[in-house]
């Protein structure tokens, strides 16, 4: 009987070892559920510079709605704070939001005042603000937006464009009033941001852990022999047709998630969470989203009349169907807030 019991135990252990463990996000890759909401104000500070970069390609910067964007930042912050009220207060993250929100408020208020008076005067003096300095500023704005979609803003190299203001735009030329005013403005902005960004980077590294560069997710509906996008790593395959994968963070997560949804996959878990997730889309006011989640705020795109940003909350299980519905309706998914 003892031999039979021992054999049964060995067979049981062997069977357990052959059975794949349930799919689970590694503990060190899990993030708090409220992060999907609290990262909203951070990402507005990507959308706003992107809107500015697009605007100044066609219009003078004095017309940009700096004060409207200040209001929209704090409006969004109030909305996500209310949406995350059920979770314990994340004091550390709240302080960070107040710091970036206050600094942006000061920056935009100063720029709005300066551009509204000095900038508008030199625009009028120039006729058309198309000096070499204006064109340099347009290019730097585009580079900055591309960078902050992947990395924190304070890591951007402001010293290189600062040097370019004095080495690549010439010391004399047409429209000298506008030219020298822009030299002063861009020199002040790039120098201040280089110093402030360096200080903020040091403080951030001293106060916060190194950010996690990947987002782990569990997906269902994986076809046999599926080919994953290059930026998606298969970490573990489950017996139930699911898989544990890792995706890039930040804006690249949105792009990868849309590709997976288009392939018919659904999300079960993202960064250890199975509850709600925040998504923003940009849609024409005349064409509301085909699949509307819980709307927590709506903001007009101030430089694109007739379009609005909608902040929507979905269950993670319904994220992929919503992405497919947006694609079918031709609605732009601005960002998926991957905790």
Question: In Å, what is the CA distance from 170 to each residue of 136, 163, 295?
Answer: 12, 12, 50
Helix (DSSP H) and strand (DSSP E) numbers for the chain: 10, 8
pLDDT at 227: 79
Counting residues of the chain whose pLDDT is more than 90, the rounded percentage is 81
Could you tell me the pLDDT band of residue 20, with boundaries at 50, 70 and 90? low
Q: CB of 137 within 8 A of CB of 56?
A: yes
Strands (DSSP E) contained in the chain are 214-220, 233-237, 243-248, 266-270, 276-284, 294-300, 307-315, 332-336
Phi/psi of residue 58, each to 5°?
-120, -20
pLDDT at 288: 66
pLDDT at 110: 98
Question: pLDDT of 179-204, one tens digit each?
Answer: 999 999 999 999 999 999 999 888 88
Please tell me the distance from the alpha carbon of residue 289 to that of residue 328, in angstroms, as a whole number.
Answer: 10
Highest-scoring range by mean pLDDT, 90-94, 190-194, 234-238, 283-287:
190-194
Cβ neighbours of residue 179 under 8 Å, at least 6 residues apart?
131, 132, 133, 169, 172, 173
Q: For the chain, what are the domain ranges? A: 35-207, 212-336
Please tell me the distance from the alpha carbon of residue 331 to that of residue 324, in angstroms, as a whole number.
Answer: 10
Question: pLDDT of 21-47, one tens digit each?
Answer: 689 999 999 999 999 999 999 999 999
pTM of the model: 0.88
Q: CB of 72 within 8 A of CB of 104?
A: no
Sign of CA dihedral 314, 24, 226, 336: positive
Please tell me the distance from the alpha carbon of residue 225 to that of residue 223, in angstroms, as a whole number.
Answer: 6
């Amino acid at each position: 009987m003892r031999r039979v019991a021992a054999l049964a135990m060995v067979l049981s252990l062997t069977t357990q070892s052959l059975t794949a463990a349930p799919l689970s996000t590694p503990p060190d890759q899990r993030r708090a559920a409220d992060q999907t909401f609290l990262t909203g104000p951070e990402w507005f500070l990507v959308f706003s510079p992107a809107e500015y970069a697009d605007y100044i390609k066609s219009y003078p910067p004095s017309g940009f709605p700096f004060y409207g964007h200040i209001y929209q930042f704090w409006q969004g912050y109030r909305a996500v704070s209310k949406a995350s009220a059920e979770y314990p207060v994340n004091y550390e993250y709240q302080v960070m939001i107040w710091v970036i929100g206050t600094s942006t408020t000061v920056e935009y208020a100063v720029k709005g005042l300066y551009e509204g008076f000095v900038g508008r005067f030199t625009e009028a003096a120039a006729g058309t603000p198309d000096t070499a300095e204006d064109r340099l500023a347009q290019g730097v704005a585009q580079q900055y937006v591309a960078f902050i979609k992947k990395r924190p803003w304070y890591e951007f190299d402001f010293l290189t464009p600062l040097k370019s203001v004095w080495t690549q735009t010439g010391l004399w030329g047409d429209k000298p009033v506008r030219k020298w005013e822009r030299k002063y403005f861009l020199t002040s902005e790039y120098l201040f941001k280089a110093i402030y960004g360096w200080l903020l980077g040091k403080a951030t590294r001293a106060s916060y852990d190194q950010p996690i560069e990947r987002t782990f997710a569990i997906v269902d509906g994986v076809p046999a022999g599926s080919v994953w996008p290059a930026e998606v790593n298969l970490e573990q395959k489950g017996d139930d047709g699911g898989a544990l994968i890792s995706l890039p963070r930040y804006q690249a997560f949105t792009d990868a998630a849309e590709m997976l949804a288009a392939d018919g996959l659904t999300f079960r878990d993202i960064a250890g969470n199975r509850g709600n997730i925040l998504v923003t889309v940009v849609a024409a006011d005349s064409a509301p989203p085909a699949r509307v989640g819980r709307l927590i705020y709506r903001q007009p795109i101030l430089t694109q009349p007739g379009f609005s940003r909608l902040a929507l909350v979905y269950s993670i299980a319904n994220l992929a169907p919503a992405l497919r519905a947006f694609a079918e309706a031709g609605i732009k998914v601005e960002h998926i807030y991957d905790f």
